[in-house]
Amino acid sequence: MRSTTSSTPLPNSTIELTAPFDVEQVREDFPALRTLIHGKPLIYFDNAATSQKPRQVIDRIRAYYEGENANVHRGVHTLSQQATDAYEQSRAAVQRFINAPSPEEVIFTRGTSEAINLVASTFGRVRIGAGDEIVVSTMEHHSNIVPWQLLCEEKGARLRVIPITDDGEIIYDEYRTLLSDRVKLVAICHISNALGTVNPIREMIADAHALGIPVLVDGAQAVPHTKVDVQALGCDFYCFSGHKMFGPTGIGVLYGKRELLEEMPPWQGGGDMIERVSFEGTTFNELPYKFEAGTPNIADGIALATAIDYLEQIGMERIAAYEHDLLAYATERVQEIEGVRIVGTARDKAGVLSMTMEGIHPYDAGTILDQLGIAVRTGHHCTQPLMERLRLPGTIRASFAFYNTRAEVDALADGLRRVQALFS
């Protein structure tokens, strides 16, 4: 089945790349891009799963362990104070990066999944009851489905699902229909990890807020690729992961509005989240520490600020423009290949290109591409309900970052043809 330009429009963008972007200079910062896979230079198109790390981030982690290693908070010795300062400066960097009103509204977690689970286990415990409803979309990652399912089962609440079109867009009229006084939360992805669809988050939040409904946004796929302003969006919670934004694994962020965070009970008990403990009772620490029990991921939290500095030095608008140009080019190249179909053709897309190949299982295609040094993700991408809606076992997903090149896209197109030749 041939994919044509008329059936697969190029993604829209209002951003133009006005300043020169030297991708080869950027690539010099990423040691992993010089790796050989099966004797061939690595072409890394699995950025939606995790991104590669610039040398600056790697060096910052090493510097902490070599010269600053100490536990944070409460220590009076010099190393502890230095580590604490660096860790809290990272929180301030996150606040600036997403334009949160205050650093106290920035909670460090292990990643997006933990951030969503934190909200489900605290906000959900207070706000959700029998007969209430939580609204999600068909395209959500499992991390933005399963915690709400568990909460609904516990509380006797109901999970409602926004349908999508065959192109992978929210059916907006259906979304409005789902909103009612029974709905106590909308949980929606900013950008789909499986399709690249950019959802109309600001409008969705405004419509929910008109009925007094809080909104949580899964921003794991948005923060690395576009400028995010939580105050402009108006969201009540925003979650993302460091490892997808060129930072370390094991560190993530939950932004929450202060009034909601103050209302929510602690999630985990332990050191640092307390003010005073006695056998008669415990009082809890102020924000953000109320939600950060135990020794945190200090080194990776500090290095997250380095990743943010790196992105800001390049400029998020320049990153978005470059990646959009790359997506448009990749869309054109893949459309030229007989028997390859693009899955996810929303009008507003980020740098994700999901595909199927006629008569070829995604795993087989991914294995052959790996032999050519090309890393793509194959399968359901932790979006099984979405794949069921699209009647697919999975897709071949190429996801782009600002260090990818048109030459690498050409290699991907040639690789897909090689795959077809082996099965012909």
CA distance 386 to 392: 9
297: left (phi over 0), alpha (psi -120 to 50) or beta: beta
User: Tokens representing 268?
Assistant: 């985990």
Give the model's pLDDT for residue 273. 82
Q: What value, to the nearest 5°, has the Cα angle with vertex 320 and ends 186 and 194?
A: 50
* Domain limits, the chain: 23-34+315-423, 58-312
Please list the residues that pair with 187 across neighbouring strands: 216
Please list the residues that pair with 240 across neighbouring strands: 253
Give the model's pLDDT for residue 81. 93
CA end-to-end distance (rounded Å), the chain: 15
Give the model's pLDDT for residue 19. 58
pTM of the model: 0.94
User: Taking Cα atoms as reference points, which of 167, 123, 369, 393 lies closest to residue 265?
Assistant: 123
Answer CATH for 58-312 from 3.40.640.10, 1.20.140.10, 3.30.70.100, 3.40.50.300: 3.40.640.10
Q: Is the omega angle on the peptide bond into residue 393 within 30 degrees of 0, that is, cis?
A: no
Kindly name the residue from 152, 235, 239, 382 that is annotated as catalytic: 382
Give the model's pLDDT for residue 15. 41
Distances in Å between the alpha carbon of 250 and those of 240, 299, 361? Answer: 11, 10, 32
Give the model's pLDDT for residue 10. 47
Give the model's pLDDT for residue 2. 31
Answer CATH for 23-34+315-423 from 3.40.1010.10, 3.40.50.2000, 3.40.50.261, 3.90.1150.10: 3.90.1150.10
User: Tokens representing 243?
Assistant: 């490892």
66 CB contacts (<8 Å, ≥6 apart)? Answer: none
Give the model's pLDDT for residue 424. 85
Give the model's pLDDT for residue 16. 46
Give the model's pLDDT for residue 280. 87
Q: What value, to the nearest 5°, has the Cα angle with vertex 336 and ends 398 and 191?
A: 30
What pLDDT tens digit does each residue of the chain (424 aa) get? 233 333 455 445 444 444 578 999 999 999 999 999 999 999 999 999 999 999 999 999 999 999 999 999 988 899 999 999 999 999 999 999 999 999 999 999 999 999 999 999 999 999 999 999 999 999 999 999 999 999 999 999 999 999 999 999 999 999 999 999 999 999 999 999 999 999 999 999 999 999 999 999 999 999 999 999 999 999 999 999 999 999 999 999 999 999 999 999 999 898 888 888 889 888 888 899 999 999 999 999 999 999 999 999 999 999 999 999 999 999 999 999 999 999 999 999 999 999 999 999 999 999 999 999 999 999 999 999 999 999 999 999 999 999 999 999 999 999 999 999 999 8
Same fold, 23-34+315-423 and 58-312: no
Q: Is 152 a catalytic residue?
A: no
Residue with tokens 């050519």: 372
Q: Strand 43-44 relative to strand 237-241: parallel, antiparallel, unpaired? A: unpaired
